[in-house]
Structure formats: structure tokens, C-alpha cells
Structure 1
Amino acid sequence: MKKIIVLMFLSLFFLFLFPIQGNAAANTSKIFLNGEQLSLPNDVQVTIVNKNVMIPIRVVAENLKFDVDWNQQARQVKIQQNEKVISLTVDQKQAMVADKQVTLNTAPQILNKTLVVPIRFVSEQMGLSVKWNNQEKIVYLTGSNNESDEASGDDSGGSDTTSLTHVTDIVFADNQLVVSMDGEQVQPVISTLKNPDRLVVDLPGTVFGDLAQPLDQGFNGKLDVTGYPNVSEVRYSLFKRDPGQVRIVVELNNVKDVQFDQNVIADKLLINLNVSGESVTPMPVTPVIDTGRKVVVIDPGHGGSDPGTISITNKPEKEYVLALGLKVQALLLNEPDIDLVMTRDSDIYPTRSERVQLANELNADVFVSIHGNSATSSPQASGTETYYYQRSSSKDLANIIHERLVKALGFKDRRVKNGNLQVIRETTMPAVLLEIGFLSNAAEEKAMSSEEVQAKAAQAIVDGIKEYLGI
């Protein structure tokens, strides 16, 4: 009798952890492994936890021929294929891969009676390229641990994505291409081609991570370039799978020539396009009479059609930096020895070139650009960092403001850095770009959005400007 009771208990337990298909509502999410749709029980869903896509590990592991073993007492699952052993514990971010401890973005959880893990963990530890189509709720998995490679004649041998850099965001705004990456720094290979004219950006050793932009089943996608008459298309794809290589193509429309410059800062690649023949309406400059007062230009970044990064609570960076910029404005207007000029004081979008032009034509004494940072693939990233470009005067200004910001806000000190950014590179006066904190970090985004913290940041910026100018 005791044996029957034990067997019944075990049966109910495994039904709880690894449910069989029942008569629940139809499953709306899908998982494709190397182009083949996996069979999901009706009550097993792909879900999102803390902005991390979570997938049922049992379904994927079994289709990759892994053995799955559950330890009820430890609430731990062991996944094994040959010599590779992965151990995961419910509600713990730390996992073991072989004898090495790794940290997940979000802890494994039991949801709807099945164990789910972050999609990124599957990508990094099970040798798969992973893409989530949020609109259609589809996960695409591509890798070498399958029997179809040989059958299809693919002799690439597959790729180990654990050593690859993940492309997590691709944005095109104001003729600037910004590519965010998570992993080792990548040296891009950039070329220009004719018929049609296009700029080709190859990123060796990369695959797509949790990309914010949509991908089709073939790992291809396009950006919306409405409003850029000289750019007809920006498209991206997983150009090579072994080793991984992401390619981004900027196709140009009716231009005589294209020049570009590039810069890698932290986890971002920035490529500035300078298209000849482009018509730019000059930003009107209000003359500042020479009164002997110092001219300070405050530049709240982005604005209008350019939202900037999107915070963890889905708010655009442009709103945060404008709110902080207006607080800086209010303080500087009370300074009798300073003439203040704002690049924007509402939700409009001056281009970067227009912002530079304004400051240079005013012969300003100081230029300060305000921004919020982001690392969507690393939500734990935090801190304040400040950029200057080469000039010692700009470095001095950066050091002074940065020190005051870090002291006032208490955020992690990410230091002062030399950065090749247009608004601080092409301005002719001491110029800095402030990354106040990370809008992709839940705690910092909450703090940065508060009136109290914004007031502290504004006062620190103003005090730094005054100290630099000797006022």
C-alpha cells in the first residue's frame, strides 16, 4: 500500500513539473528549433518575467537530446548531454555549467506548473542563437545540436555562441547608426558599395541576442527610416552562422557621396553618416550681446522624433533629459554672471549638427549635453559616466561636473571617459556629455524620475559649471 502511495505522489509531482497536454486553452506562443516548430502542451506558455523572455526548459532540452533530472528536495533540475552538465535551481540566479558558476538575468521559476528559464541562458549555455518575436510571440532557436544539419548538407559544424558577442539593439536616428552589444568589444568591418549606393557594416563574432527590433524566421529585419530622404533602407541579418556575423546595410538614395566616422563607446558602436548634398535647415541663432557674462549652452538630448533610449518602464529618454534640463535652466537663469541658451526647452528635435552649430555661432564658454544611459541586455548595469573629447579644457570641465554628480546622487562612479561623440567633438568650446544614470536599471530609473533626485542632479551640474567658470 505504501508503495502505491509513493508512486501516486511521484506521478502527481512530475505531472506538476512536466505537464502533459490537456484540454486547456490553445497555446498562443510558439518555439521553432532550426526551423521546426516544437510541440508545446496547451498549458505551457512562453512568458516574460522582469522583461526577460522565459521559455520551458524541458521542451527545448528534450529536443536537443539532453537528459533532464529533477531533484524535488533541492528544487533543482540537472540537464545533461554527454559531458556537459547544467544545474539550475528554482528562484536562484546562480547556475552551474560544468564546474563553473554563471549568473542568470532572472532566476528560473515554476510558472503554470512548468520550469521556465531566461531565453538568454539558453542562447549562452546550450549553443543556440535565439530570437524572440514579441509581436507574434514566437521564439526562434538555431544551433548545431540537432540532427537536421547533416541531413540538410550544412557542413559548417555549427557555432558555439558562448564566445560570441550579442547584438541587442539597432537604432538609426539623425543619420547616426547606433548598435548596442553585450559581450567582447567588436571591431566592425565597414565598406561602401555601388549600384545601389550603400554602407555595409559587418560585425564579426556576433549573433543576435534579445534584440529589441523584430526579426523574421530567417533572422532578417528592417528599421523604419521614414523622414530620412537620403536613406532608403536600413536592414540587418545574421549574415554568417559559423562563426556568427551580423551584417547591417544602410542603403542610400540619390546621393553624390557618403562619408562616415565610427566610434565604439562601452557597449555601443556609433557610426555617423555625412551625406553630401543633404539639405539641412540651419537652426536659428538668437544673438547674445557681449555683456561680459559667460555663455552656457545646455543641451537636453534627443527630443521630438528621436525618443532616445526607452527606460525599463517604457518611458523615452527624451522626457527625462528635458525634465532635468529645465531644472538646470531654472537654476542658471538666477545666475547674474551667466547668459543661458537651451538647444531645446520643449519636445522638438534639433539635429546634432544644429546643436553644434548653435553653440559654435554663439561662441559659448561651456556646452553641456544631458543624457540617460541604457544597457537593456544588462539590467544590473548602473552608475554615472561623463564624456569629453580630447581637449584638456573639456576634460577639466568633465572632471568637475562628474565629481559633483557622483557625490550628489550616490550612483556608482563609472568615471570620466574620452568619447568621440559629435556634439562634444565638433563644438569649439569646453564640452561634455553627461550620462546621469541607467534608465535600463529599475532602481536608477525610479530615482532619476523623481523630482528630488532631478533637483540634486540639476544643482550638481550648475555648481560644476560655476566652479569651472570661476563664478
Structure 2
Amino acid sequence: MTRTTGQWREWHHPEHPPGHHPGGRSSRLSIEPFCRGFSYKMIKRYWLAKEMVADKSSHEEWTWLPQGGSRLPQGWGLPQGGSRLPQGRTRTRRNPLFRSLALVGRMAAAGLLALALLSSPQPAAAQTGAASPPLRLEVEGKEVAVDPPPFIDAGRTLVPIRFAAEALGAQVGWHPEQQQVVVGFPGRQVVLTIGRNQARVGDAEVTLDVPPRIVAGRTFVPVRFVAEGLGATVEWDADTYTVRLWRQPSQVRRVTLNRAVGAAEIRVELSAPLLSHRLETRPDDPTGLVLSLYPAVPATALPEVPESDPLLAGLRFEPDGRGLRLVVDRRRGGPYRLEPDPDGLGLTLKLFYQVTGVEVSQDGWVPVVTIRTDGPVAYQTLTLAQPHRLVIDLPGVTPAPGLPAEVPGVPTLGLQRVRTGEPLPQVTRVVLDLAGPRPPVITPTADGLVVRLPPHLTDLRWEALQGRTRLTLLLTGPAAATAELLPDGRHLRVRIPQAVAAVPQVPQPGPGMAATRITLSQSGSPPGLDVVLEVPYYQGHRLLSGPGEGQVVLELEGSPVYGRRIWVDPGHGGHDPGALGPSGSQEKQVNLAVALRLRELLTQAGAQVQVTRQDDRFVELRARIQGANAAQADIFVSIHANSAGSPQAAGIETYYWDNHPESARLAQAIHRHLIEELGLRDRGVKKNDYLVLREARMPAVLVELGFISNPEEERLLTDPSFQQRAAIAIQKGIFDYFQQE
């Protein structure tokens, strides 16, 4: 099999393609004419044949002469015009490349004298005269051992791509289907195709003087093109036959300082991967760190470190030849780790935090443990019993030198002891010994953790007492509570500062209690527990427990009128003004004002209240009582003001009739509270068969709140505050009546 390249003519074994040998190296029979001065026939007859047979231990060189001898090995093509092999042959072991062989004896007999130089297996141009020294490759001032060595073709230096690229810190990829080599860094790539002069640098197409090729199993590429495509500088030293490559320094584009969870992170962002980096402590200060970057130059300012920073004292750049040093001054030593990015475009130096102190304090009735660190930390907790303990682990955090193993200032409020330690490397443990179960509330901060042991609501109980409802809240620790009626008048809130709800299921109040629903919620900062009771009526409350107790006891006054149907009848109205006062005031206005106030009080207490009239209108007497009977009211109360011919007549009267056995008791209860509340003359409880009393089917009363004909009592009856007091007195009398049923 024959092919011609320049002045070369080569023969190859049919089973092995050019450049291939079963042993892994090139196997080629190269035929070179002795010299240009011989005729074609002479050249055809005299050849120097050289076969390089490579194995793991030696190079063997075989030389055949053109006269006589045996044939070439079976399967090898004969040179054009060649003859049989000579009977004698020369064999030389471990011959270097570019060895000269002078064949004088046999050629003198033929009248010819020739001098031939054996060529190397690289496809370089034929050389005449003295051999050139071997090419050398240096990267960043250090010689790189290259096998096979570089060579020059058409004035261009070709080198094995992998040696040069990896020495420059670049990555090399091979795509056998496309016969393509991809060389570069993230964001910068050079793509070359074997045997083609077209290449690509990034997105740009470029034409090469010399195409890449495969020699001795290695891919050779033009070194200047690839190096400059990767941003490197190429130098040629003709005296030493040396190619020198210098990487363009990577730019430090950005340096940031981040207070991450568990460690302070110094982030270095680069324009291109480095050839090398190294992190070490400063010889003169073991707390300081030096990050050496090569080759690199600064292209950004360093972030300022606050004077209050507990971990860092400062950052600064120091030049180091073609390299750069980032000096990290720390206030104290501690663990650290350098994490390079997979793409080589960044480095992250992590300075792990330390626990610098543990303190115990008290916030009201809540013990507080403050764990101080250099920055924010993650944590894990474990609750143990027998004895009760809370274990807090801080992974990646170490105790600072001098951290006490036991914290002073305890016991306090159920906190018996606080201990610290390092059970595992780079794990700080804080153990709280407790008097009982105390679930913690842990709040991460910018410089550690705040552990609060607030009282937890673990249970609540309802009790229905005579006219009262009692609610008991059971806590895991001492607490203080407040209770208030909300502005809507329908909700009562009990607030326990810093307490936490831990009730799996909230029991609701039962039938007949002063509350119909209860809800729990957390609010405030620090959060407290709000216990909100929904009350259909509100008659009053009181806290029976004091500050510092492990429970909160609340009692609600009950409402005996809850669900009761009560009919309130303001007398007169419309064209019927009722009695008139000396100043012209009208009874109908006083009656309506007191009736509406009474309706509001009874409704707030849960009663179902109806009034005969809600404004100034006339209603027949019979229609009044018929409405109450139709509504099946439980009681009937008619409100009036008295009048007499004498202005000295004064006092309060209350009337009933024998229409119902309970009418007298209702009249007595209401009359007693009117006298107590209003302080007017007691004219007694009396019987009278008024129509509204006589025909009522329920206990019924009629009250005379005073004499509007009396100037002094007229002034009181028209006073809104007196009207409110009168309504309250009637309400209390109604309450007493139903409570005594």
C-alpha cells in the first residue's frame, strides 16, 4: 500500500492503516532517495528502507540494501523499482531518531557514493545539513515533558495538544465521530478538526496555516494558534529551540463577604480558571490566612469589614509576581475550609463560627438562655426525660477557647443547670437540665440563638357553678395573666405573656355556660398566648389566680336571662303624652328612653327582648298585652312615670296583679333594686288590676319610676344618667327573679 507526501514515499501493511501498529505505536516503512543528483533509474535501484518496530522495551531499526537478498516481509509492498533484499542485514537496538547511516562499501563497487539521513517518523519537511536540536516546551517557566516531542511543519510549531492544554489549566475533549478536539475553559473554547485548516475560536471561524494531525497516537496542533485562542502568550527562543507559554492572568472580578448560616463566606469570582491556588496560615500570625492565586491580578476593590465584626479584622491584596495573595486577618483562630467551584471560576473560603458565650437571664416569669456565636447558625434539638433535659446541637460550630463547661447563674424558674461541650468534632452541644417538661421557643439571631422556656398551656378545664362559669388554664410554669372585654362586647380575652399553646385539642364550653366558644392564638413579640372567649352576654369576670402561679383561673358571671323571652312595654306614646311635668316634659319620652336602655342590657345578657314600641307612636292597651301573650313571653314589664296634683308627691311604686302566682315575686325583686339604685322614696309594692297586668298570661309588673309632677324628680327622670341607672336596677331585679326560680 503506497502514499506519497512531499519527498516521501511510504509503504504500509495492508491490515494496519497509517500511523497504527498492533503494539500501540507507529509502524511504517519509509523509503527515501539518497540524493537529488542521481538519475531516476539509479534512485529506483538504490534505496534506504527503514522500519521502526516499537515495543515496550526497545526500538529496532532494520536496513535493507537493494542488491540480492530475500524479499520483503510478506504483506509489505515493494518500493518502485526495488529488488530483492540483500542477504546480509544490519540490526541496531535502541537507535535514536535522526540517526545517519553511511553505506560506502557496496556503493563504491557500483561507482556511486551516497550519504543518507534517516528521517524521523514525524511528518516534518526533509532536512539537509546538520540536525536541529529537539524542540522543548515550557509553560509558566517550567519545562513540560512531551512524548512525542514537538516538531516544526511549514514554519509552524506543532505540539501534542493534551500536554500543552493541561499545563495551561485548560480541559481537552475528543469527539471521535467528528474527529474534533475541543480545548478551553468555561466561556472560552477552541475547536479544531483533524486534517482541516478551519477552526473555531468561540463563535468565530478561523483558517489555519497548518491543520491538526495525529502522529504516533497523539493529536498535534499549532501551538501558537491554540495558546493565543486560550488567551496565553507564546514566546520562541531560537537559541534553545524552546516554545514558552504564559497564561494570561485571571482577573479577580469580585470579592464578597457573606454571613451565611454556620460560616462566614469569602467569595472570590474569577474571569478564568487558575493554574494553581493555595491556602495557608501566615507564618507570623497563625490566626491569619493567605490565599495564593496564580496567575491572577485584582480587578475589583475588597469589601470593607466593619470594626464590630466578631470574626474578621480585615481583608487585603498583596502582589506576588504573576500571582496574587488575598490576606485574611482574623481576630482569632478557628476551623476553615476552601471550596473551589467545579468550573474553576470561583473559590469560597468558609470561616466556621464558634460559640463565644452562653448566658442565662430572666424575662418576667420566663427563663432565657442566650447562646452567642460569631454569626447565624443552624441547630438541632433533642428532648430527654428522667431527668428532663433539652439538648441543643450546633453542627459545624466549635466552642471558643475559654468557654466554660457549666454556665453560672442557675437554677432559676425551673432551669436547674446549663452545660456546654463538643461531643463530636465541630459540633457544639448545649444541655439544659430542667425541673420538668418545658418545650423551648428558639429564635435564631444574627449572632446566635435565644432559647426561651415559656410556660406552655397543656390543658384547660370548664366548670359550671351556681350563676358562674369557671375556666382553669394549666401551664408548665409560672405565669401572669390579664383579662379584658373586647370593644364588641361579645368577646373576652385572657392574655398570658410569652406563653405557648400546647393543647392537642381545645375543649369547648358546655350548655348553659357563660361562654359559647373558645379559641387560642399566638400574637405579639415576643409572642404571647391569647385565649379568647365568645360570650353571648357579659355580666362580669374576675381572675382568681395571681402572678407566678402555674395556672390561670377565670370566672365569668352567668346570665340567668340567657335565652329568656322578655317583653318591655314603654307606656303611652304618639298622641298620648302621658303625664306632663312642670317644665313641660312628657312621660312618654321618659318611658321610651328607659325601655330602650333596658332592652340593650337584657340583650347583652343573652335575653330575647321585644318592646311594644321603638319610637314615638300610640299603641292600644289591649294590643300591648296581646303582643306579649302571642310571643309567649316569660315576663312582662311596663315602664311609667307617676303624677299627682301635689308637686310634693314623690317616690317609686311597683304594681302587680294576681294574674300569675310569680307576679308578686317579680315585683318585689325589681322594686328592691330600684330603691337601692335610685335612692328615691319607697312607696312600696302594690296590687292593681291594670289591664296590662290583669290580662297577662305571664308574671307581669308595672313600675312608676318617680313623679314627673315633682320638679326635682322631673329633673331626674329626664336625665340620661338617671335613665341608665333605672334600666340597670330593673335588669338586676329581673336577674334576681330568674336566679331564684
TM-score w.r.t. length of structure 1: 0.37
Q: Which has the larger radius of gyration?
A: 2
TM-score w.r.t. length of structure 2: 0.24
Question: Of Structure 1 and Structure 2, which has the larger fraction of its residues in strand?
Answer: 2
Question: Of Structure 1 and Structure 2, which has the larger fraction of its residues in helix?
Answer: 1
Which fold has the larger relative contact order, with Cα–Cα distance below 8 Å and residues 6 or more apart in sequence? 1
